[in-house]
């Protein structure tokens, strides 16, 4: 098929969704796309890149740079592009370079890091949970520089202009205090690239010329470091397309810029497009209505306009163990109906109540021979970081001369299980590692495979393979479920004190024992942030969502009575208890 016919085919395939078509054919230099969950974001993005190629916009050696906040989003983009070009010319897929912000910067520093004092980036230890300990060796002036800079990033209260003025002093401290010990703080992977671009315009010009179009996924998750990097890479001749969803802003605690989609649209005079057809829930009236209701409520929480009442099926226990019993019974029924169903039990936070729920749920499911994958671990905990570092070392020793093959994975996993001491999450981490290695063996070319595996492990990114674990039941925190999908989702611990938790409750202004959600001008931002979390949770489901709650919960070491989550008091929500 020639290029013009391909372009016309792409257009004809999108005539039933005018908003998707307007993105695919956009002539504007900068486009910001509001892309809610299930509205065809990935399809639109891939079709847009295909259209660019059909129109011969991506010429010669040049590439489209697809960037995201997380490794998992980058991998989904890469796989989606690969599937789109399957059976066609493989060089088309090679014209797309998909990675996350840190992955891009590590690649740049491998080539040009020596210009800013960073030689052989792969020899440095990435500081994660050990970062705070490492900072203790700094003098008071250096420590103040580092703390001011990193708190500004994590609290999203530093402007791009302020960042530009702080970055050189920050990097100087990193060079003097960390590189000499072969240590590299996480943020500095990006800050050294920003310094490189400031000082060496020819290097920046090369990347602007090489990446003629920049496509950012999960744009709402971007922090100021990522935003500054994007602004440097986007020159006068580059296209810039960002896909994001304001209702999936849940990474504020990691420094994601608040209301970034609106702010970037205003500041850059970008074209704004909102995708308007929910393809995932097109034939599912209940889920489609739930999605529309919460989006309307989030846009104007103080409005009293009438919304269609949505019935959500609920599991109600008098105690946490009884709640877990009802969840396990529901899971058993769903798997008896269809053994291929994949089910997620999502919680908002870790703690005694979540542990009690998981322990009872695990016991129940184990008796029914149903496998559960516990993904509630903290990815920055020493157990998780140490596991990945040990596996990376063992992999390097065993596969120094060639990459791992699919038939060798089980044997390698057995060696790891035998070598490492047993911990609560060891089984989950081993299952996750097996899924990751199997995916790498099937999807990553042999010449790149070992580098991909080592990079993932040393950047503490193993968690991003949760979607590849094939066990029937996954328990995860809502934050950790972002970007993933299951057939059914059960949002557990759906009671005040757990959802919302203590900090959300304080921000919203709840007093002890209250669960009536009243929105005022003082708490509207906190309400929106809280609603986002529920939205992210229920939109992980392809077919249906349930909530589960109990009448009691632990507060410290004491059991106390509680009430159902305040969202159940909204005028458009009706909980319908399952027996």
Q: From residue 480, how far is each of 293, 465, 504 by CA, in Å?
A: 24, 11, 18
Q: Tokens 């085919």 map to which residue?
A: 9
DSSP 350: -
| Phi, psi angles (nearest 5°) of residue 469 | -75, 125
Give the separation between CA 501 and CA 348, rounded to whole angstroms.
8
Q: Is 513 annotated as a binding residue?
A: no
Instruction: Answer for the pair 432, 469: CB distance below 8 angstroms, yes or no.
Output: yes
End-to-end CA distance of the chain: 57
**36 belongs to an annotated ligand binding site:** yes
How many helices (H) does the chain have, and how many strands (E)? Answer: 23, 17
38: annotated binding-site residue?
A: yes
Q: At what angle do helices 201-210 and 188-199 cross, to 10 degrees?
A: 110
Rounded CA gap, 123 and 182, in Å?
Answer: 7
One DSSP character per residue, 173-213 reads HHHHHTGGGTEEETTHHHHHHHHHHHH-HHHHHHHHHHEEE
**d(Cα 455, Cα 127) in Å, to the nearest integer?**
14
3-state secondary structure 306-347: CCCCEEEEEEEECCHHHHHHHHHHHHHHHHHHCCCCCEEEEE
For the chain, what percentages of helix, strand and coil (3-state, to nearest 5) are there? 55, 15, 30
Is 435 one of the annotated binding-site residues? no
Residue 82 annotated as binding? no
Pairing of strands 558-561, 552-555: antiparallel
Please, what's the largest Cα pairwise distance for the chain? 70
Tell whether residue 26 is among the known ligand binding residues: no
Binding residues for ATP: 35-42
Binding residues: 35-42
């Amino acid at each position: 098929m020639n290029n013009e016919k391909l372009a016309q085919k792409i257009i004809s395939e999108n005539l039933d969704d005018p908003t998707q078509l307007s993105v695919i054919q956009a002539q504007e230099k900068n486009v910001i796309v509001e892309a809610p969950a299930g509205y065809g974001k990935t399809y639109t993005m891939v079709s847009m890149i295909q259209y660019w190629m059909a129109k011969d916009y991506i010429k010669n050696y040049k590439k489209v740079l697809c960037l995201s906040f997380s490794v998992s989003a980058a991998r989904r983009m890469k796989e989606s592009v690969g599937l789109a070009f399957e059976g066609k010319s493989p060089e088309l897929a090679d014209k797309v370079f998909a990675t996350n912000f840190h992955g891009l910067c590590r690649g740049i520093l491998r080539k040009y890091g020596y210009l800013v004092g960073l030689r052989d980036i792969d020899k440095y230890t990435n500081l994660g949970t050990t970062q705070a300990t490492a900072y203790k060796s700094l003098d008071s002036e250096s420590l103040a520089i580092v703390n001011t800079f990193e708190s500004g990033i994590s609290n999203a209260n530093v402007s791009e202009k302020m960042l530009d003025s702080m970055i050189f002093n920050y990097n100087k401290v990193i060079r003097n205090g960390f590189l000499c010990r072969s240590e590299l703080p996480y943020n500095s992977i990006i800050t050294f690239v920003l310094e490189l671009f400031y000082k060496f315009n020819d290097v920046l010009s090369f990347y602007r010329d090489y990446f003629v179009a920049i496509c950012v996924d999960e744009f709402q998750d971007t922090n100021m470091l990522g935003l500054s990097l994007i602004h440097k890479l986007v020159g006068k001749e580059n296209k810039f397309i960002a896909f994001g969803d304001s209702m999936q802003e849940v990474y504020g605690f990691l420094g994601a810029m608040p209301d970034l989609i609106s702010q970037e649209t205003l500041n850059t005079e970008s074209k704004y497009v909102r995708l308007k057809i929910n393809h995932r829930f097109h034939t599912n009236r209940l889920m489609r209505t739930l999605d529309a209701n919460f989006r309307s409520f989030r846009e104007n929480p103080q409005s009293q306009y009438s919304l269609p009442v949505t019935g959500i099926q609920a599991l109600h226990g008098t105690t946490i163990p009884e709640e877990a019993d009802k969840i396990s019974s529901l899971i058993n029924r769903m798997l008896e109906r269809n053994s291929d169903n994949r089910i997620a039990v999502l919680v908002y936070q870790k703690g005694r109540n979540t542990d009690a729920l998981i322990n009872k749920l695990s016991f129940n499911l184990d008796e029914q021979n149903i496998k559960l994958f516990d993904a509630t671990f903290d990815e920055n905990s020493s157990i998780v970081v140490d596991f990945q570092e040990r596996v990376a070392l063992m992999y390097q020793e065993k596969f120094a001369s060639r990459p791992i093959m699919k038939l060798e994975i089980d044997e390698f996993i057995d060696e790891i299980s035998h070598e490492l001491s047993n911990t609560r999450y060891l089984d989950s981490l081993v299952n996750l590692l097996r899924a990751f290695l199997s995916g790498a063996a099937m999807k990553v070319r042999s010449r790149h495979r070992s580098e991909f595996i080592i990079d993932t492990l040393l950047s503490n990114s193993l968690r991003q393979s949760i979607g590849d674990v094939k066990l029937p039941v996954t328990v995860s925190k809502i934050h950790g479920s972002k970007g993933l999908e299951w057939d059914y989702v059960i949002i557990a611990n759906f009671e005040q004190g757990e959802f919302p938790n203590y900090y959300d409750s304080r921000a919203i202004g709840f007093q002890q024992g209250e669960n009536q959600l009243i929105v005022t001008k003082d708490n509207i931002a906190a309400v929106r942030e809280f609603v986002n979390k529920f939205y992210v949770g229920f939109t992980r489901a392809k077919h249906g969502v349930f909530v589960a709650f109990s009448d009691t919960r632990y507060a410290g070491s004491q059991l106390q009575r509680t009430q159902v989550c305040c969202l159940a008091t909204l005028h458009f929500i009706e909980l319908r208890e399952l027996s």
